[in-house]
Amino acid sequence: MAARGPDYFEDAALVEQVPQGVVDRLREGRVLFTEGGRSYFRHHLFHDVLAAVALVRDPARWKARWFDSLTFRANSFDALVLALELIEDPQSADELVMAVYDWNLYGAAYAVSQGRRHSSVAVTASTELALLAVLAERRWDPVASSVQRVEDALRVFPSPLAEQLLKADDLDAVVATVSEEAGDDTTSTAWLRIFRHDATAGELVAALSSGPLPGWMASNALRREPLDETTRYAVFQALTGDDQTVRWRATHTLGADATGESVDALLHVLDEDDWEWARYGAVRALVEIAARDEDRRRPVLDELRARLTALRKQSLVFGELQKALELRNPPRGWASDVAPLIEDLFAMSVIVSDQDHWRRVGKRISDSIRAARAAHAA
């Protein structure tokens, strides 16, 4: 993980929650420092431990809002590792892992991997298998950074199965390996049927709202085959529900559905949804559609160009737009098609470092295309 600076918080908020005598002793012991009305601990691990304890004590906080705060918007997962290590009950450990997975796959993988490395987590074998399965499936994700992250996660996971999944030649091999590993374990039966795509399209759509593991597995399974009109409409319905995460899963599904109706639905989410992770999913899905369908590519990229001013104000969504442009297997013409968007971003940059950044992004896109062509030729 990247090094972190001090984790500041308002001094007044600390005094409201902690007796003044405790605060004074922390300062006297040079554990806590205060500057200009803001406080911070001598080392971020003090903050992480206290935050992890608070998280574990209240499962009602096992949601995206709190995970965002705990990890500084997915920039450091150390506190999640500490939280998982504090849980001795396997069922509760599984529930925390699945709650984190519902918010961030890499956060869940990091917490379990680090815990297994030190033999300090109570996560069950079934949950670990499910986590490895969803990591391995994303080795064929269209976005290059996603592929790199899941392969890194599998590479450092202390498990022979992770190594085996990392070497699998295709998704069918992954499914076969996971099925064999599950064997007759009844705790894996429910999610394994979805992962193997044994369920009907209607069952998969219903599973979108059935919890973290079946929900995201169903979203991925629906991407493997073209959506028929009935299924597409059902996914559109999921986009308008009250459950934020279900809306996010639905946007992920539509990234593989290169139709005008899906483009319109995703643009509506990008413009109107009040949850940033749903908009994050929408911008990624729109770039996927642009990459999948040559006829829709320019119109979709133009729609994104028209929204750049608004997107720049949304750091999470804007960051995902940049990552999504760098594809694992970019189609012919991708570099020239995204060039106007990169040029707009360059023109909107007011400082040299930002301009240099977009030059590097453009170069990476061009380099990735040359590398993909070379690999294909070989």
Give the span between the Cα atoms of 126 and 133, in whole angstroms: 10
- Non-local CB neighbours of 209 within 8 Å, separated by 6+ positions: 215, 238, 241, 243, 246
Q: What pLDDT is attached to residue 308?
A: 95
Rounded percentage of the chain residues whose pLDDT exceeds 90: 69
> Residue 74: left (phi > 0), alpha (psi -120 to 50), or beta?
left
pTM of the model: 0.85
Q: Which pLDDT belongs to residue 1?
A: 45
Give yes or no for residue 35 having a pLDDT over 90. no
Assess whether pLDDT exceeds 80 at residue 192: yes
pLDDT band at 75 (very low <50, low <70, confident <90, very high): confident
Flag whether pLDDT at 41 surpasses 50: yes
**How are strands ordered across the β-sheet holding 38-41?**
9-10, 38-41, 32-35
Name the percent of the chain lying above pLDDT 70.
Answer: 92
Higher-confidence position of 148 and 7: 148
End-to-end CA distance of the chain: 35
Render pLDDT for 47-58 as a digit per residue (tens, 0 to 9).
778 789 889 999
Instruction: Report helix, strand or coil for 21.
Output: helix
Q: For 233-278, how does the pLDDT look when each residue is reduced to its tens digit (9 = 90+)?
A: 999 999 999 999 999 999 999 999 999 999 999 999 999 999 999 9
Res. 208: pLDDT tops 90? yes
Q: Mean per-residue pLDDT for 187-203?
A: 90
Lowest mean pLDDT among 162-171, 200-209, 297-306, 332-341: 332-341
Burial 135-161 (b: 16+ CB within 10 A, else e): bbbbbebbbbebbebbbebbeebebeb
3-class DSSP state for residue 239? helix
Distance CA 8, CA 326 (A): 34
Given this model, what pLDDT does residue 6 score? 58
Helix (H) or strand (E) holding 340: helix 334-348
Tell me the residue type at 131: L
Q: Which residue has the higher pLDDT, 45 or 151?
A: 151
For residues 199 and 367, which has the higher predicted lDDT (pLDDT)?
199
Per-residue pLDDT tens for 310-363? 999 999 999 999 999 999 989 988 989 999 998 998 888 878 887 888 888 888
pLDDT at residue 29, rounded to an integer: 80
For the chain, the average pLDDT equals 90
In angstroms, the CA 52 to CA 57 distance is 9
Structure confidence at residue 101 as a pLDDT band (50, 70, 90): very high
Mean pLDDT of 138-158: 95
Dist CA 344 CA 342 (whole Å): 5
The pLDDT-based confidence of 371 (bands split at 50, 70, 90) is low
The per-residue pLDDT for 361 is 81
Q: Is the pLDDT of residue 112 over 70?
A: yes
Condensed to tens digits (0 to 9), the pLDDT of residues 210-227 reads 999 999 999 999 999 999
pLDDT band at 231 (very low <50, low <70, confident <90, very high): very high
Q: Strand pairing partners for 41?
A: 32
Query: What is the reported pLDDT for 2?
Result: 47
Q: What is the pLDDT of residue 236?
A: 98
What is the pLDDT confidence band of residue 43, given thresholds at 50, 70 and 90? low
**Whole-Å CA distances, 4 to 11, 76, 147, 358:** 20, 8, 25, 25
Residue 226 C-beta-side C-alpha neighbours within 13 Å = 5
Q: Taking residues 49-76, what's their average pLDDT? A: 89
